[in-house]
Amino acid sequence: MTEFWKMSATQVAGLVRAREVSAREVAEDTLQRLDAVNPQINAIVESRPDHVRLQAERIDRMLAQGQDPGPLAGVPVTVKINADEAGFVTSNGSRLQRDLLAERNSPAVDNLLRAGALLVGRSNSPTFALRWFTSNLLHGKTINPRDRRLTPGGSSGGGAAGVAAGIGHIALGSDIGGSLRYPAYACGIQGLRPSFGRVPAYNQSSPERGIGPQLMSSTGPMARSVQDLRLALAAMSMPDPRDPWHAPLPLIGKPMPKRAALCLRPDGIEIAAEVEAALRDSASRLESAGWTVVEVADTPSLEELAEIQQQLWLGDGFAKLEDAVRRDGDPGAWAVVEGVRSAVETMPRDVVANALLRRATAARIWNLFFEDYAVLLLPVSTELPFADDLDLQGDCGFQRVWNAQLPMRAFPAIGLPGLAVTTGFVNGTPVGVQLVAARFREDLCLDAGADIEARGQPIAAVSPVPADVLVRR
């Protein structure tokens, strides 16, 4: 049998649409790959083979009847456990939601199905999607298939680990502070956080979210190539009336000069030597592709954005979150609650209103910045991917993680798109860079990301390293 799991989503869709292979063949290959590697990494916590086969048979019937099943015809996709998928539990990694059965799909899931995707399983995340590590008391721990000593990232860690290991070509995840970009970084794949309003979102199974999370959370894809991200974004972005924030704007904006700003240390942050090397290498790749790269000493303040993000995220509803985490009992989620408690306790009563005012000012400043530059090239994280569960190593461990993630925590505050592009490995450990652009200019991030990607090594799906084998780093 052909190993379709090694191919790109673009290749698989092309073969299925041309009827050179059947969607059923792709489904069987994916299910075999899931059975072979998922027990070692626990990336996918629920899969129903017969359900996958029924989806494949529908696609094949459409093709046989001369109908177009969509641009993702037969492409295996995984869905994060915090997104509604009809007939599945939206557990969000919490024992409190183990019976929360979704009756309808979320908009992005509906869009993927309309595009012909095969939904092959539910991907793991930390409890309430709170960490940059992936474990919970309901589904257990997800392992990074490249090195089990490293975090697979979070909160979309299961999806990233699955894509890296060949379980699904695309993973649907979400990002409010790095939850798509960091798992991609940690697992050595590509991850796109779309602009606020780009991909419609709604969970019928759950109460309406607070206004801060509504304005910052973004649903998006992870994949092994930038082209696959582009394909997935187009499919996921189709309008849906259930999301009042969705903006049905073109995926390609006005032409801009290929001019990138490189900032190694925004706000004066310290970065690992390996991270700096990846940034400078990426700048060189862009220049070889015809970009003008301008190294800037600083940018508008990331600390300001990160503070706004924290206030909008936690300034309203922290008491309810704390209560839910206490009742669930997950130690990782509790570490986050304890780690941010002091900041929350000092917030004034009108913190959300003030944060919204500051958000408008900050967005204006960054809009002007991106009048001069198509993209900003900066770190994903100030460090290489962390050892797993570093945030559980006392307050010092938590603060080290929190501080390192500033370049990801900042931009959701004003809804900007961000792309994590893997650039290679340092003694087996993935490393990469982040590209940020103006709101609704994912196309610029993807253009620059494709140029960086094209001048490096293609990403291949990997087989997980057994538990008794240590990776030399």
Q: Give the residue numbers annotated as catalytic, written as ranges.
A: 80, 155, 179
Spatial CB neighbours of 225, under 8 Å, sequence gap ≥ 6: 8, 9, 10, 190, 453, 458, 459
Phi, psi of 420 (to 5 degrees): -95, 120
Tokens of 178: 């790095």
Quick check: 257 and 292 in contact, CB under 8 A? yes
Contact 168, 422 (CB under 8 A): no
d(CA 238, CA 108): 8
Indicate the pairing of strand 259-262 with strand 292-295. parallel
